Chain A
Amino acid sequence: MRRLGADGVTVAFDGLTALSEVNLAVAPGRITGLIGPNGAGKTTLVNVLTGFQAPTGGAVTLDGTALTGLKPHEIRRKGIARTFQGGRLFRDLPVIDNLEVTGVGLGQSRRAAIAEAEAMLDWVGIAALADRIAGTLPYTDERRVAIGRALMGRPGYILLDEPAAGMSAAEAADLAALVRRIALEMGCGVLLIEHNVGLVLELCDHIVVLDSGAVIETGDPAAIRASEKVRHAYMGTAAEAQMPEGVA
């Protein structure tokens, strides 16, 4: 079966257990949500899945094959792409070059990479930004460029680390539409990390809830919405206010 999976992944930073025996699977064409309070270990899990962090225990598998020991660029070349919480665009380069770099990293010629970058900017809906210097972009556009960059070469999987952080309700709705198209039109498996729980409940087929490095609940949106454990550990009362907002 085609899937990207974390199988019993444990990560210990000296003293602190950031992840303990976490299982999670992302399937092609589906959107999986990953939620949890600050410091729950969400980014650490993305780092493990993309080769930036070696797990202390367990393994990452792609279609059943372990990816142990592969470097981040090798994992990217296997079609597992990611974005970063902080954007991390190539600030001094124009937007088009930001995408082109990924094409080149994946082995394309510059000419081919530029052609795909143009098509991708179009697809994401930011063709007008092509020649802007990435460092000068507002926050929202920065996120879209980062997603476009990650989508170069049509990866099988994309891991989005808080793509809607700081967005207004309308902007978050646009982003939701984009994420849906990534799964439906590209057939890409999406892992969506978000603090905007409303957005996650609206978009995801399946949701995993992480707290203090451990999975405390999994299920479809209805199950997560109903879960006492989740309500208790993560949402509390604040979630009631947060849930309807952001879905817009």
Chain B
Amino acid sequence: MSARTSVARRTLATPLILSALLIVFALLAWFVGSKPFNQTIIDIFLRVILVVGLYIFVGNSGVISFGHAGFTCLGAYAAAWLTMPPMMKQTLLPGLPEWLTALQLPYWAGAGLAALWAAVWAALFGKILMRLSGIAASIATFAMLAMINTIYSNWEDVTGATSSVVGIPIVRTVWPYLIAAILAVFIAWAHAISRAGLALRAARDEPTAASASGIDLPRERLIAFVVSGAVMGMGGALFAHSIGVVTPDTFYLGLTFITLSMLVVGGMGSLSGAVIGVLFLSVLIQALRWLEAGVTIGASKFALPNGVQEIALGVVMILILARRPSGLMGNKELGWRRAGSVAPDVSGQKQPDLSKGVSK
């Protein structure tokens, strides 16, 4: 019997290549050394964490979630509660329990607990939501987001309601964000190649056959929901530390839209797609911003009128989706053998024998 190489070994190239890509971006920030550019790269890493977190559930289950920004909100406020100086908490958030007010953890410990906190809520919400399918499930996730947003916008002495919570310790170097983004990529990869990930992807297109194969679909969905909730929570905590301020609306419709767009443009069914989608759209957004601010060519200064950025972004997204409905990566992953020959999604077409050499 031919011994197949283990699944982990066969697929390890994907997270490694993606991590290398992220490291290149971090080095770029380091070499350039300008403050705004540094912040731009940090923002990119944060989006990588959030979009990869979203991918863990949406990509594997095929259920679109409009609610994941809610977990980011939970994570961000948890980070505020855990890391702000007690003095600030006393004045801004007088409703916090005493032990929490007195606590001041380092940002990384706060981020870890924030991930756990978001995961607990994902488990509670998921218990109910994961029984639903299709559009009903998607709308229910949106309802969850609206609930979280409403609670955080009104619970004055615990969340500060709609006013900004300031005084969260700011972390300005790119490295923690880089490490967290790489961690997110590896978590997503580990989940995707786990039994739970395989079962969920099988059920994505054939739920009936999956049940007939012994798969407990609500359970597998719940696992993905919790893992992805944790990653979103960690992303939320780091988000808070990147700017030092949180408001509930930072984690609402705008964030939901941008993260989903990046995932869909990159390729919903692919971890590589999640990362590529973020990098591609972020670079595009940044380039348009620079153009809007104006570039000097020779003697004349050239600047795009304001608002062009949003319009151009929309046009590019529509064009990509028109040409590649399943995103830049389709269902494919970056790998050693396929690097450089990332084919568009050709499901239904006979595949070349690419996989032969990899899997035997």
- A: residues with CB less than 8 A from B are 50, 52, 71-73, 76-77, 81-82, 84, 88-94, 96-98, 100-102, 104-107, 109-111, 114-115, 118-119, 131-133, 135-136, 149-150, 152-153
Task: List, in ascending order, chain A residues with CB within 8 A of B356's CB.
Answer: 131
Given contacts A101-B213, A105-B213, contact A94 B355 (CB under 8 A): yes
Q: Contact at A104–B348, with CB atoms within 8 Å? A: no
Q: Which of B194, B201, B206, B210 contacts A105 (CB 8 A)?
A: B210
Task: List, in ascending order, chain B residues with CB within 8 A of A81's CB.
Answer: 212
Q: Which of B1-9, B114-122, B161-169 contacts A (4 or more CB under 8 A)?
A: B1-9
Given contacts A91-B347, A104-B195, contact A73 B215 (CB under 8 A): yes
Contacts A73-B215, A89-B206, A105-B213 aside, 14 further interface pairs with beta carbons under 8 A come to: A52-B212, A72-B212, A76-B213, A84-B212, A88-B206, A88-B208, A92-B205, A92-B331, A92-B347, A100-B198, A101-B199, A104-B198, A104-B215, A133-B350
Task: List, in ascending order, chain B residues with CB within 8 A of A92's CB.
Answer: 201, 205, 331, 347
In the complex, A17→B198 CA distance in Å?
39
Q: Does B315 contact A (CB under 8 A)?
A: no
Residue from B199, B201, B208, B209 whose CB has the most chain A CB atoms within 10 Å: B209
Q: Does B202 contact A (CB under 8 A)?
A: yes
A-B contact count (CB 8 A): 109
Task: List, in ascending order, chain A residues with CB within 8 A of B198's CB.
Answer: 97, 100-101, 104, 110
Q: Which of A84, A101, A110 contacts B208 (CB 8 A)?
A: A84
Given contacts A93-B201, A118-B1, A131-B356, contact A101 B210 (CB under 8 A): yes
Complex interface residues of chain B between 316 and 360 (CB less than 8 A to chain A): 331, 347-351, 353, 355-356, 359-360
Q: Contact at A76–B211, with CB atoms within 8 Å? A: yes
Given contacts A105-B199, A114-B4, A131-B355, contact A90 B214 (CB under 8 A): no
Q: Contact at B211–A90, with CB atoms within 8 Å? A: no
In the complex, A97→B208 CA distance in Å?
17
Produce 1/0 per residue, B195-230, CB < 8 A to A: 100110110011011111111110000000000000
Q: Contact at A109–B195, with CB atoms within 8 Å? A: yes
In the complex, A119→B3 CA distance in Å?
11
Given contacts A114-B4, A135-B347, contact A106 B214 (CB under 8 A): yes
Residue from A73, A84, A119, A150 whose CB has the most chain B CB atoms within 10 Å: A73
In the complex, A28→B327 CA distance in Å?
49
Q: Contact at B350–A76, with CB atoms within 8 Å? A: no
In the complex, A76→B199 CA distance in Å?
15
Q: Closest residue of chain B to A72, judged by CB?
A: B211
Q: Contact at A111–B6, with CB atoms within 8 Å? A: yes
Q: Contact at B215–A101, with CB atoms within 8 Å? A: yes
In the complex, A151→B188 CA distance in Å?
31
In the complex, A71→B214 CA distance in Å?
10
Task: List, in ascending order, chain B residues with CB within 8 A of A111's CB.
Answer: 6-7
Q: Contact at A149–B349, with CB atoms within 8 Å? A: no
- B: residues with CB less than 8 A from A are 1-2, 4, 6-7, 193-195, 198-199, 201-202, 205-206, 208-217, 331, 347-351, 353, 355-356, 359-360
Q: Closest residue of chain A to B195, judged by CB?
A: A104
Q: Contact at A90–B195, with CB atoms within 8 Å? A: no
Closest A-B pairs by Cβ, 3 of them: A105-B214, A72-B211, A102-B213
Task: List, in ascending order, chain B residues with CB within 8 A of A115's CB.
Answer: 1
In the complex, A60→B213 CA distance in Å?
19
Closest chain-A Cβ to B39's Cβ sits at a distance in Å of 39
Q: Which of A50, A101, A133, A150 contacts B351 (CB 8 A)?
A: A133
Task: List, in ascending order, chain A residues with CB within 8 A of B193's CB.
Answer: 110
Q: Contact at B347–A71, with CB atoms within 8 Å? A: no
Q: Closest residue of chain B to A80, judged by CB?
A: B212
Task: List, in ascending order, chain B residues with CB within 8 A of A73's CB.
Answer: 211-217
Q: Closest residue of chain B to A135, judged by CB?
A: B348
Q: Closest residue of chain A to B350, judged by CB?
A: A136
Closest chain-B Cβ to A169's Cβ sits at a distance in Å of 27
In the complex, A89→B211 CA distance in Å?
12
Closest chain-A Cβ to B201's Cβ sits at a distance in Å of 7
In the complex, A55→B163 CA distance in Å?
57
Q: Closest residue of chain A to B354, judged by CB?
A: A131
Q: List 23 A-B contacts (CB under 8 A).
A: A52-B211, A72-B211, A73-B211, A76-B211, A88-B208, A90-B205, A91-B347, A94-B355, A94-B359, A100-B198, A101-B210, A101-B213, A104-B198, A104-B215, A105-B213, A105-B214, A105-B216, A110-B194, A115-B1, A118-B2, A131-B353, A136-B351, A153-B214
Q: Contact at B211–A71, with CB atoms within 8 Å? A: yes
In the complex, A175→B297 CA distance in Å?
73
Task: List, in ascending order, chain B residues with CB within 8 A of A118's CB.
Answer: 1-2, 4
Closest chain-B Cβ to A62's Cβ sits at a distance in Å of 15
Q: Contact at A90–B350, with CB atoms within 8 Å? A: no
Q: Which of A50, A96, A110, A136 contacts B212 (CB 8 A)?
A: A50
Task: List, in ascending order, chain B residues with CB within 8 A of A136's CB.
Answer: 348-351
Task: List, in ascending order, chain A residues with CB within 8 A of B353's CB.
Answer: 131
In the complex, A109→B348 CA distance in Å?
29
